[in-house]
Amino acid sequence: MGIKEKSPGRGRSVGLWVLAFFLMLSAGVYQRYTGPTYKLRGSYTVDEQVIKYRLVRSAYSTADTAVVIPAPAGVAGDLLYRRYPTDDEFTRVPLVRRGGELAGALPAQPPAGKLEYHLELMTPAGPAVAPDTGENAVIRFKGWVPAWVLILHISFMYFGVLVAWRVGLGALLSGQGIAKLSWTALILFTVGGLLLGPWVQKYAFDDWWTGIPFGWDLTDNKTLVMWLAWLFALVVIGWSARRDAAEGGTAGEKKARLAVVIAAIVTVAVYLIPHSMAGSQLDYDAVDRGVAPEDAIGIG
């Protein structure tokens, strides 16, 4: 890019990579424990013993899904579920004891189909309900995604986050190397988000892209916004390099560094939005009217 500031030094560069790495891990942990598809945690009490559980909220359409909850001797109960979002009557299924657990099964739904459910337990201390939030758990079903596609998608996206935050941190201190690293971030997000992401979407919900201009899927749209932010940053970097070369100044470089910082902030904002929010959802009303499930998927 023709930037003439001196290098920030090897030690500081390593430090920035380490900081970016821990920020990436933090984003991974945050994404792991937020969002509507990760297991819902809760607890109930039996004889002053707190029993912790996790309720499944994501499953494959290929088979019924087990709902399992730890349950000491003397605890029994039922699993109640219905299609979501509908006004169907709840179906009640007795839970079956399996050692120190109680288990029930949710019937498989077409991809993007959802069920809402809860457990009604009878304990020696009286009745208990899981989840204990006052709301039902909602589980979404999806098609089978090959592990290698999912691993590649996740890997490219998180390496993209690592590079994006490293170049963003570096741009705050120096213009050294921001063009190369910004290109690396854009390429990683292109492969992970715009190539492998739709592939995952196709396997899971039989649609390549449900974001703008075809829909309002939040995951697709936030990926697109992040990609555009880095594309814009690279446009500014290229324009700035030509301007500074022609005029012999550094005003363009400052704009380039600002554009990179803004792109990094956009990346942070994207990863603060829980994964799978406002994602694909089967319209059961349309299915009941005779529409094929694969043609009745909207956003919810």
Residue 3, in any domain of the structure: no
155 and 279 fall within a common domain: yes
Q: Domain of 47: which CATH number?
A: 2.60.40.10
116 and 244 fall within a common domain: no
Residue 2, in any domain of the structure: no
Listed in sequence order, the residues at least 6 apart from 249 whose beta carbon sits closer than 8 Å to its beta carbon are 243
91 and 166 fall within a common domain: no
- What are the respective helix, strand and coil percentages of the chain, to the nearest 5? 45, 25, 30
What was the pLDDT predicted at 253?
Answer: 79
Residue 82, in any domain of the structure: yes
Residue 272, in any domain of the structure: yes
How many other C-beta atoms can be found within 10 angstroms of the C-beta atom of residue 120?
16
183 and 111 fall within a common domain: no
70 and 203 fall within a common domain: no
pTM as predicted? 0.80
Name the H helices within the chain.
10-32, 147-173, 178-189, 197-205, 218-247, 251-272, 284-288
Q: Round to whole Å and give the CA distance between 168 and 154.
A: 21
Residue 266, in any domain of the structure: yes
Which 3 state secondary structure label does DSSP give 137? strand
- Name the amino acid, one letter, at 39: K
Query: What phi, psi does 290 have (nearest 5°)?
Result: 105, 0
What was the pLDDT predicted at 245?
Answer: 63
Q: For residue 201, what are the CA distances in angstroms to 114, 138, 142, 198, 232?
A: 17, 20, 9, 5, 26
Task: Count up the domains in the chain and report the number.
Answer: 2
Which of 142, 174, 198 is where one domain is finished?
142
What was the pLDDT predicted at 239?
Answer: 85
Residue 265, in any domain of the structure: yes
71 and 104 fall within a common domain: yes
158 and 269 fall within a common domain: yes
What was the pLDDT predicted at 5?
Answer: 41
137 and 149 fall within a common domain: no
197 and 232 fall within a common domain: yes
The answer to whether 138 and 115 are in contact (CB under 8 A) is yes
Which of 100, 122, 142 is where one domain is finished?
142
266 and 157 fall within a common domain: yes
What was the pLDDT predicted at 236?
Answer: 93
The whole domain housing 121 covers 40-142
Q: pLDDT tens track of the chain, all 300 residues? A: 444 444 446 777 888 999 999 998 888 888 877 777 788 999 998 988 899 999 999 999 999 999 999 999 999 999 999 999 999 999 999 999 999 999 999 999 999 999 999 999 999 989 999 999 889 999 999 999 999 999 999 999 999 999 999 999 999 887 778 899 999 999 999 999 999 999 999 999 888 888 788 877 778 899 999 999 999 999 999 887 776 666 655 666 788 899 999 999 999 999 888 776 667 889 999 999 999 888 888 876
Which of 126, 142, 158 is where one domain is finished?
142
210 and 289 fall within a common domain: yes
